[in-house]
Chain A
């Protein structure tokens, strides 16, 4: 059993946050969500479609998960702030995964807009979890702005390219006094394990599960990867060496 972690005073046993995007059916999503054992699931806010059937909220609540709305699709601080305010009204939560995107090719966050939105939302009493670049200085600025966690990307959203700059993630972890949640880029269980071994407090995974050949199997696999990685981190890996260091006693020589 690994340590629990907390965000804004709320304690979680699962270190895997579940992104609900990309599933072909709510039924598969529900099964994957339950297999992931996640306690937090994200939703996006979009223009209402009166013809849409089935409620994602029912599926998330049936799994006993907290709902974490995001501001995906916003390109300016003003847009993100309004979307967050609407999410709070719609879902009765002051938690927000803050996304302010710089362009649609990379979906990389726009740092200055992100900080502007974060400051305003913190002032309005939100628990702000910003999706940010793997930039230790930006992460520090977001923490200074009062964010409850920082969520650096491993690689671009949906790329499945893993953690492209593990050194920066390690620097962010070292400097942060709020939880670090690796968001975006996880492709498979070993990516999640690496994030945890680097000392991240949690990971957020969407496409790697929702777009896998077997989303339910992948939900389990990534959950186990997360648990294994965290256990390794807490157990303390041995230092890496250039040369061998024998693990059997030296052989006694009789001349």
Chain B
């Protein structure tokens, strides 16, 4: 299936969860990170049971330096 992750298209197997997407991206430290799927924030505690579906738009943000 195809997902749009932070604006870029990615091909992934059908069974992927939010957690597995994050580890595939090399994001192993959830601190300071938040995820939204189709414009809705997904609580950190539910990442491992959030199944992703074809066509969804995933936004992953992290705290960085900024005024």
Interface size range on B against A: 20 to 34
- A29 at the B interface (CB under 8 A): yes
- A57 at the B interface (CB under 8 A): yes
- A206 at the B interface (CB under 8 A): yes
Residue of B nearest to A70 (CB): B66
- Residue among B25, B62, B65 facing the most chain A CB atoms (10 A cut-off): B65
Shortest CB–CB separation between residue B7 and chain A, in angstroms? 8
Q: Which residues of A contact B44 (CB under 8 A)?
A: 89
| Residue from B7, B36, B62, B67 within 8 A of A49 (CB atoms) | B62
Q: Which residues of A contact B39 (CB under 8 A)?
A: 82
Contact with A along B28-52 (1 / 0, CB 8 A): 0101111110010101100000000
**Complexed CA–CA distance, A50 and B30 (Å):** 11
Which residues in chain A, 170-207, are within 8 Å of chain B measured between CB atoms? 204, 206-207
| A72-B66 in contact (CB<8A) | yes
Residue of A nearest to B63 (CB): A43
Count of chain A residues with Cβ under 8 Å from any Cβ of B?
Answer: 38
Q: Which residues of B contact A160 (CB under 8 A)?
A: none
Q: Which residues of A contact B6 (CB under 8 A)?
A: 47-48
Binds B, one of A1-9, A14-22, A219-227, A242-250: A14-22
Which residues in chain A, 17-72, are within 8 Å of chain B measured between CB atoms? 19-23, 26, 29, 42-52, 55-57, 67, 69-70, 72
Query: Other than the known A21-B67, A89-B35, what 14 A-B pairs have Cβ atoms closer than 8 Å?
Result: A20-B66, A20-B67, A21-B66, A42-B66, A45-B61, A45-B63, A47-B60, A67-B63, A72-B67, A86-B34, A86-B35, A86-B61, A88-B34, A90-B61
Q: List 11 A-B contacts (CB under 8 A).
A: A23-B65, A43-B64, A43-B65, A43-B66, A45-B64, A48-B60, A52-B62, A83-B61, A86-B61, A89-B35, A89-B43
Interface residues of A (CB under 8 A from B): 19-23, 26, 29, 42-52, 55-57, 67, 69-70, 72, 82-83, 85-91, 157, 204, 206-207
